[in-house]
Structure 1
Amino acid sequence: MPQSLNYLKESASQTAGPYVHIGLAPGAAGFDIYRQELGRDLAGPDAPGERIRIEGIVYDGTGAPVKDVLIEAWQADANGIYPHPEDPRFDQVAKGFRGWGRIITDFDTGLWSLETIKPGCVMGRNGRIMAPHISLWLVSRGINIGLNTRLYFEDEDNSADPVMNLIEQVDRRATLLARKTGPGSYRFDIRLQGDGETVFMDV
């Protein structure tokens, strides 16, 4: 091979940018591109289970709402089955259950919300049972690498959850709990930095 090959220099890393929502959730940004939006309803309209609504705000290190966040969420159905072929019980997943959605914050208030069914307990590694939860992945302007976290429910028994118990600072476990605000409604705020910073996971 020739010794004088010219190689392109590595380009600088970039954040998601201020227009990430247009490419990933165009309907919410006012663009009619897709026949079916990925949407805020994780379960689908016909999935059996307890219907719930979750809302919250993502705050930056100064306590200000971040208004251009995109959140991907995925979960198991009411029986703890994921709609994915790697789940051993995949063929038993609830009919019509989707288990995945893409949500963006309101551009004026920073409020995000999703509708779904409350997930069931999930079989984890080595046969250990995980408490009901929803996995969340966040991207936004200023975030170079997507952030992973989990949403648990304060009205469930989370004491034996193997992931929750990996958090050595016991007081920080509360940052993963969605607070019940009424029948079928929960509040889950996410803090990127500072006091009460949400626990993020390296997955």
Structure 2
Amino acid sequence: MVQPLTYFKESASQTAGPYVHIGCTPNFSGITGVYETDLGSGPMVNDKTRGERITIRGFVYDGAMTPLKDALIEIWQADADGFYNSPSETRGKADPNFLGWARCPGDMQTGEFVFETIKPGRVPFRDGRLMAPHVTFWIVARGINLGLNTRMYFSDEEQANAEDPILSRIEHRVRVPTLIGKREGDTVTFNIYLQGENETIFFDI
């Protein structure tokens, strides 16, 4: 019997649960034989990649300051010259030896994520002003219905950060440090806080 259209209602929104790992990183989840490697798990750089090598590492913390052990993080960024590895890049030719995108599930024991990449170059804002070097993050995990977007800037780029057209628009200046990765040598530490006093700024894009 045909049912009236009002009978079928939209399903309630659900959090990512374990399915994001099964779908995005099956090998990491123990499901082998589907894909040789998980998409985005390979190296972003090789021995021909231009730019300064860095390691980005950090944790995603919940409101109780507990590291999430089931978070999945993606990053994308420009190459060392400020060009994106994308068909929509029209300003110049991106480094063919730099992928520009990667995906990393947090360690299931500690929650730590790690990316081996390069420090990106400056990219122009839509009005032509140069943005400070930054890496874009996308985060999904338990309790998150829609992926969260944020950025990581660099603590050793104080002048560029002061000129950045995105950072300068943040009204509550005390929250700007939540977007700054702390650099020590070739390691940049960037922790993401979902709630609480140090809640990271997330972008509606």
The 1-side partners of 2:173 and 2:130 are apart by 20
For residues 117-158 of structure 1, the C-alpha deviation after alignment (integer angstroms, 9 at most, x for no partner) is 110000120111111000011111110111110010000131
Amino-acid identity (%): 50
Bigger drift between 45-54 and 59-68 goes to 45-54
The 2-side partners of 1:193 and 1:93 are apart by 36
**What's the counterpart of residue 27 of structure 2?**
27
Counterpart of 2:139, as a letter, is L
TM-score norm. by structure 2 comes to 0.91
Counterpart of 1:21, as a letter, is H
The alpha-carbon distance between structure 1 residues 188 and 7, as it changes in their structure 2 partners (threshold 3 A), is same
**What's the counterpart of residue 197 of structure 1?**
199
The alpha-carbon distance between structure 1 residues 7 and 106, as it changes in their structure 2 partners (threshold 3 A), is same
**What's the counterpart of residue 62 of structure 2?**
60
**What's the counterpart of residue 139 of structure 2?**
138
Q: Which of the residues 177, 181, 184 maps onto 2:180?
A: 177
Aligned 8 A contact 2:24 2:38 in 1: no
Counterpart of 1:171, as a letter, is V
Q: Which has the higher strand share?
A: 1
The 2-side partners of 1:109 and 1:119 are apart by 28
For residues 147-170 of structure 1, the C-alpha deviation after alignment (integer angstroms, 9 at most, x for no partner) is 110010000131111111111111
The alpha-carbon distance between structure 1 residues 10 and 80, as it changes in their structure 2 partners (threshold 3 A), is same
> How much does 1:34 deviate?
1.7
**What's the counterpart of residue 155 of structure 1?**
156
- The list of structure 1 runs, each at least 4 consecutive aligned residues, that deviate by more than 2 angstroms after superposition, is 2-7, 27-33, 35-44
Aligned 8 A contact 2:77 2:101 in 1: yes
> How much does 1:42 deviate?
6.1
**What's the counterpart of residue 44 of structure 1?**
45
The 1-side partners of 2:141 and 2:50 are apart by 33
Q: Which runs of 5+ in 1 are unaligned?
A: none
Counterpart of 2:81, as a letter, is N
> Is 1:111–2:112 an aligned residue pair?
yes
Count, aligned residues = 200
TM-score norm. by structure 1 comes to 0.91
CA RMSD of aligned residues (A): 1.9
The 2-side partners of 1:106 and 1:177 are apart by 22
Counterpart of 2:129, as a letter, is R
The 2-side partners of 1:50 and 1:139 are apart by 28
What secondary structure sits across from 1:66 in the alignment?
coil
Q: Which runs of 5+ in 2 are unaligned?
A: none
Aligned 8 A contact 2:59 2:191 in 1: yes
> How much does 1:18 deviate?
2.6
